[in-house]
A and B are shown apart, each in its own frame.
Chain A
Amino acid sequence: MFKPKKIRLLDEPAVVKAALQALPQPSRRLFLQRGLTLGGLSLLTGCTLSDEGSVEQALMRVSQFNDKVQAWLFDPNKLAPAYPESTITRPFPFNAYYGIGDVPEIDGSSYQLELSGMIADRRPWTLAQLHQLPQTSQVTRHICVEGWSAIGKWGGVPFATFLKRIGADLSAKYVGFKCADDYYTSIDMPTALHAQTQLTLTYDGQTLPAQYGYPMKLRIPTKLGYKNPKHIQAIYVTNVYPSGYWEDQGYNWFGGS
């Protein structure tokens, strides 16, 4: 039996506007100057592009078109490969937009996960409460947008279980995350409900170490590393495009396989 696949469309003009506005000045300048001058290509042809802003906008529009294509390609029943524990990458690499010395220190005993947006029960959650939910674990490959990859073992609560438990509106378009390290990102609802998408509390059987996102990260084996937020403080459900830290600088929003 075929069930018609729901294709979630993005509000394109709003996405472009949000992305361009949210682009902080230094990175926006980087994007314009270093970013899209066509480098050697302009040397080859001997001409420069007169309006780099429109090139930037055209590329962003194709990127949003690619978001739609990817949402259409995404099959919620397809699983990322799982690996034997013997293949785990040790040590698992640390990766963030800052150095390892700047990893936030969070007091787990006073930690509270905040909820907002299209959620029926928005009461905050303590770590102890999260540990009481049914736990699963997975050995999957983390793929970085840069191209390297590493296999790790993550344990925690299936995110779909959590979303249903808090009464999130599962027909909403987006789930957004705000993190203690000032990182922020957002994902599409079909990916949020994917069987392998996990509210991660442990790494390799131990409490999630600070460098991997203590007290909690979202592990999404179907998405690139930058779509896996660490040190999550707040989760919200919305229909308004919420963007993300790297996404605002030009990385593709869907960012997954």
Chain B
Amino acid sequence: MSRADIVHPLWLRMTHWLNALAVVLMVMSGWKIYNASPIFAFRFPDDITLGGWLGGALLWHFFAMWLLVGNGIIYLATNLATGRLRRKFFPISPRAVLADVLAAVKGRLAHTDLRQYNQPQKLAYLFIVVDVALLVLSGLVIWKSVQFPLLRELMGGYDNARIVHFSAMSALVAVVTVHLVMVALIPRTLLLMIRGR
């Protein structure tokens, strides 16, 4: 096996799996925190939350945030420094995304070369990056609303920041769900993300 066979370099696989762990910890503890004072007329079932009670969930949430942010910075910096971001994700256009989605619906989207992301894939992964950034920023407003006045006003105040945080979480969970369905449909991608080739 030559280096050229490697589709996902080691740093990418590591940041991917660490991010997956961080997101699971953040989402599950976040649901428990949400349950303490729900914004909407429902609570998350206790079995899918982390922390046992509000205090425990907060400990997990404020532990995993370092993992999420630290790992996210390494992921973005390495992507930029190696030029991977530009190579893998661009060009991207709404027209091309639509064309690929239509082809997928008709069962005609070829996915033979796993080296190349198709257009909806590029959009989904870029969306995750932007969405996690929004989660971090709205989380900062909820955590330190006095220290970040500009950010707070951009989010529409403290109470609205909670809604932004919740919406961004929902969008992330939705995209990750589709991502997992796709992985189940094309299991070779899972192997690729573990072994790199």
Tell me the A residues contacting B by CB distance below 8 Å: 30-31, 33-41, 43, 58-60, 62-63, 66, 70, 73-75, 78-81, 141, 143-149, 221-222, 246, 249-252, 256-257
Q: Which residue of B lies closest to A43 (CB)?
A: B47
Of all chain A residues, the one with the shortest Cβ separation from B55 is A250
C-alpha gap A256/B143 in the complex (Å): 8
| CB within 8 Å of A: which B27-83 residues | 28, 33-34, 36-37, 39, 46-56, 58-60, 62-63, 66
CA distance A80 to B146 in the complex (A): 5
The residues of B that contact A33 with a CB separation of less than 8 Å are: 52
Number of residue pairs across A and B with beta carbons under 8 Å? 105
User: Smallest CB–CB gap between A139 and chain B, Å?
Assistant: 15
Q: Report A-chain residues with C-beta under 8 Å of the C-beta of B159.
A: 149
Q: Which A residues are CB-close (under 8 A) to B47?
A: 39-40, 43
Cβ of A39 and Cβ of B62 under 8 Å apart?
A: no
A38 and B50 form a contact (CB under 8 A): yes
Q: Which residues of B contact A (CB under 8 A)?
A: 24-25, 28, 33-34, 36-37, 39, 46-56, 58-60, 62-63, 66, 142-147, 149, 152, 157-159, 162
**Closest B residue, CB atoms, query A196:** B146
> Binding site of B, secondary structure by majority: helix, strand, loop or mixed?
helix
Q: Are A59 and B60 in contact (CB under 8 A)?
A: yes
Q: B34 contacts which chain A residues (CB < 8 A)?
A: 147
Bound Cα distance A73, B46 (Å): 33
**Provided the pairs A146-B36, A252-B58 are in contact, do residues A35 and B24 lie with their beta carbons within 8 angstroms?**
no
Q: Known interface pairs A38-B50, A141-B158. Does A78 touch B59 (Cβ–Cβ under 8 Å)?
A: no
Q: How far is the CB of A95 from chain B (nearest CB, A)?
A: 11
CA distance A75 to B149 in the complex (A): 12
The answer on a CB contact under 8 Å between A35 and B56 is yes
B56 x A36 contact (CB < 8 A)? yes
* CB<8 Å pairs between A and B, sample of 5: A33-B52, A63-B63, A73-B144, A145-B54, A252-B59
